Amino acid sequence: MLEGEKNHIKQAKRGNKEAFGLLYDHYLPKIYRFVLLKVSSRAEAEDLTHEVFLSAWQNIHNYKDRGHPFSSWLYQIAKNSVIDFYRTSKKNLQVESVSEEFVKIDALHPESLNTDLEIEKLKRLIGLLKPDYQDVLIMKFIEDLSAEEIAANLDKSEGAVRLIQHRALKELKSLYYGDPNNNGTLTHEA
Amino acid sequence: MERLLTKLKSIEPNKEFKERSRALILNSPQSGISIGIFNRLLNSAQFSAAFSLAAIFIFLIIGGLSMLSQRILSPALLSSLDPENLTEEAASLDFQIQLSQAEYYEESAEKVEIALNETSGELKNLENREEELNKLLNEITL
Amino acid sequence: MNHGANANNYKMTVTAALAGVLFFFSGTAFAASAEQENLNSLLQSIAEKVAEISAIAENPDLSPKEKELEETRVRKEVLFLAFDLTLLEDEGLENKLNSLSDLNDDQGKIRENLLVIFTENENAYAEMRKRLDEAVTLEEVKSLANDFKVWRSAVYNPKVEKVVSFILIFRQKQILSVAWQRLDKIKSDLEKLKNAGLINGEETDGLLKGAMLNLETAQELNRRAEEALSSILAEELDPLKAPSTGLEKEESPASPRELVEQSLESTRSAYGNFIEIAMLVKEKLNLK
């Protein structure tokens, strides 16, 4: 959570741009990562992320602190944006079709080559998982949220979050280390 | 696997995208303001229904246009009209490399010919012949 | 609003942007490729060796016999270097030809014909190399140098010209395809902005038209380059079918390479128009 977040939100609701700007700066990387790992294309992730924050800015007067963190409101907007995106574009996500433009492999440092390839592979595979699985894995391992926070963000119980986490990791491992029945093609379920 | 997942923390949005997106969003009006007025207009309907309806209609259009302009101004659209992107694209089409490579072969042909002329003694022969010709011409004209 | 000053600002910035591209590539075009570096290095070595020939001739400390021996040695070295350079150029061009992809049938056939050049060259090298290895006297070396010079001038250089032209023409087709797509995208985006009332198109329409004309010119020039090259190649395959020349023509037509170079320049100008449009839009929308 951003320091002084409650005050920033209050100010932003009154139309204070600087206050919203601080919220934007803090949450942009998280929302961007969240969206990118779901849509796998940088251009689309940028577009959707922009829409998320635009929507947040224009609707923040509707935001009420009901005990859930501000981030959960943003994640909800992001999830809805991704659902809309898939509904309108009807994408079949294939491993081969993912853009590699945002992965710059440093040819002068071979040791980074393996890391970059690993990251690229992971990105693609996460994009193949069910939305719930993606959400939990991203929030847990990439954004370092606790089970309690994840549960609040996703409107689930902590127990449900832990179960999803366990299943998601299992499926991701099987994709990553090679499941002969998995040909890398999955119709994304919005 | 957990260790691998944490590596994804390194994903960051592009700096230019961030600046453009931020500027566009913060420079756009909050539709909450027009909605507040919309609500007040609704409440004032009892006094002038026609006026309120017209005003509502206008606000809807303005609000709609505002949303539309924000969609149009999304960074992904504007990347096609981004001077830096276009400059990069022009550079990647490597006009100059194509032209430079073509020029190289012309230059090489010329330099190697000069070198081979010298090596074959042709240059010396040519110079000698020219000298002789000049001498003869001088004798004739004198 | 000072339109004149703004227009000048745009032009200066666009010129700077394209000059930056030009400067970057003119400085790094050769350094960017190891092959190009080797070629330049060989050219340099040849020039240095040739300078040694004059130095030997002017050296007062050498007897005539010593001069002859030294000159023979150095002239042979020049020839070795010139052979190496020619072989390296050949190899580079052959690789470039082979690396072209997505050729249509006609282009594929032309490529096959051009690749034959390298086989023919190999035979010529083999023969000259044998003579160079066996050359002992100064006269033998000079004679070989003359033959090699004539061969390069009459046979090798024209072949290289064809190969270079073909590669340029093909590459320019790909470049034009990208440029046309870019034009279409910009046109469509400008329409959206106009329809939303965010720009009025007064300034951008003219630039867009300019870009279109530049690309059309580029397209036509590249087409003529391809035609000219096909004509030259056809003439080689069947000289009897070649159109009669000389009397009807008053000036020699532009070579395929000259035409495609002009085409590249036109395309570059189109990109200048694109960048100008983008900067105008940026200013109109007050974007940083």
Report which secondary-structure segment, H or E, holds C280: helix C256-284
Rounded to two decimals, the ipTM of the complex is 0.74
Q: What's the pLDDT band for A101 if we cut at 50, 70, 90? A: very low
* Burial (CB count within 10 angstroms: exposed 0-12, middle 13-18, buried 19+), residue B69: middle
C211 phi-psi bin (left φ>0, alpha ψ -120 to 50, beta other): alpha
Mean pLDDT, chain A, as a whole number? 76
- Please list every residue in chain A whose beta carbon sits closer than 8 Å to the beta carbon of residue B31: 58-59
Q: What is the mean pLDDT of residues B58-87?
A: 61
Q: Is A24 on the interface with B (CB under 8 A)?
A: yes
Specify the length of chain A in residues: 190
Are B99 and C261 spatial neighbours (Cβ–Cβ below 8 Å)?
yes
- Please list every residue in chain C whose beta carbon sits closer than 8 Å to the beta carbon of residue B89: 178, 182, 271
Contact B77 C78 (CB under 8 A): no
Q: What is the mean pLDDT of residues C40-67?
A: 89
> DSSP state, C243?
P
Q: Is B83 on the interface with A (CB under 8 A)?
A: no
What span, in angstroms and rounded, lies between the C-alpha atoms of B4 and B8?
Answer: 7
Q: Which two tokens stand for residue C5?
A: 């000053």
DSSP string, A71-130: HHHHHHHHHHHHHHHHHHH--EEEGGGS--TT----TT-HHHHHHHHHHHHHHHHHTTS-
Q: What's the pLDDT band for A129 if we cut at 50, 70, 90? A: confident
pLDDT at B69: 53
pLDDT at A183 over 50: no
pLDDT at B137: 77
Residues of chain C with pLDDT > 70, as a percent, come to 82
> How do residues C78-132 score in pLDDT, each as one tens digit?
999 999 899 889 888 998 899 888 888 888 988 998 998 888 888 888 888 888 8
Q: What is the mean pLDDT of residues A89-96?
A: 38
pLDDT at B138 over 90: no
Contact A62 B32 (CB under 8 A): yes
Contact C21 B90 (CB under 8 A): yes
Q: Which residue has the tokens 């200048």?
A: C272
| Nearest residue in chain A measured CA to CA from B66 | A58
Residues of chain A with pLDDT > 90, as a percent, come to 17
pLDDT at C11 over 90: no
pLDDT at B142: 62
pLDDT at C81: 92
Q: What is the mean pLDDT of residues A168-172?
A: 88
Q: If contacts are CB pairs under 8 Å, which of residues 28-47 in chain B contact chain C?
A: none
Question: Which range (A170-174, C39-43, C119-123) has the least confidence?
Answer: C119-123
What span, in angstroms and rounded, lies between the C-alpha atoms of C96 and C32?
Answer: 15
Cα–Cα nearest to C184, from C222, C217, C219, C215: C215
Domain CATH number, residue A164: 1.10.1740.10
Are B56 and B107 spatial neighbours (Cβ–Cβ below 8 Å)?
no
> How do residues C220-261 score in pLDDT, each as one tens digit?
999 999 999 988 888 776 655 545 444 444 456 788 998 998
| Nearest residue in chain C measured CA to CA from B17 | C288
- Please list every residue in chain B whose beta carbon sits closer than 8 Å to the beta carbon of residue C24: 91
Higher pLDDT residue, A130 or C271?
C271
Q: What's the pLDDT band for C37 if we cut at 50, 70, 90? A: confident
Q: What is the mean pLDDT of residues C23-52?
A: 69
Q: Is B102 on the interface with C (CB under 8 A)?
A: yes
pLDDT at B58 over 90: no
Q: Residue A29 CB: number of other CB atoms within 10 A?
A: 16
> How do residues A12-34 score in pLDDT, each as one tens digit?
888 888 899 999 999 999 999 99
pLDDT at C210: 94
Q: What's the pLDDT band for C214 if we cut at 50, 70, 90? A: very high
pLDDT at C31 over 50: no
pLDDT at C64 over 60: yes
Interface size between B and C, measured as CB pairs under 8 A: 167
Q: Is B17 on the interface with A (CB under 8 A)?
A: yes
pLDDT at C262: 92
Contact C264 B114 (CB under 8 A): no
Q: What's the pLDDT band for A106 if we cut at 50, 70, 90? A: very low
Report which secondary-structure segment, H or E, holds A187: strand A185-187
For the ranges A172-176, B70-74, C182-186, C209-213, the maximum mean pLDDT occurs at C209-213
pLDDT at B74: 59
pLDDT at C7 over 90: no
Chains that touch B (3 or more CB pairs under 8 A): A, C
Residues of chain B with pLDDT > 90, as a percent, come to 8
Higher pLDDT residue, C241 or A159?
A159
Q: Is B62 on the interface with C (CB under 8 A)?
A: no
Residue type, C284: K
Q: What is the mean pLDDT of residues B95-109?
A: 83
The tally of domains found in chain A comes to 1
pLDDT at B20: 80
Q: What is the mean pLDDT of residues C186-212?
A: 86
Mean pLDDT, chain C, as a whole number? 81
Cα–Cα nearest to B105, from C36, A29, A158: C36
In angstroms, the separation between the Cα of residue B69 and the nearest Cα of chain A is: 12
Chains that touch C (3 or more CB pairs under 8 A): B
| Nearest residue in chain B measured CA to CA from C23 | B96
Q: Is A134 on the interface with B (CB under 8 A)?
A: no
What span, in angstroms and rounded, lies between the C-alpha atoms of C28 and C30?
Answer: 5
pLDDT at B36: 44
Contact B119 C267 (CB under 8 A): no
pLDDT at B66 over 70: no
Full residue range of the structural domain in which residue A104 is found: 5-187
Higher pLDDT residue, A145 or C26?
A145
DSSP string, B53-99: HHHHHHHHHHHHHHHHHHHHT-HHHHGGG-HHHHHHHHHHTTHHHHH
Chains that touch A (3 or more CB pairs under 8 A): B
pLDDT at A182 over 50: no
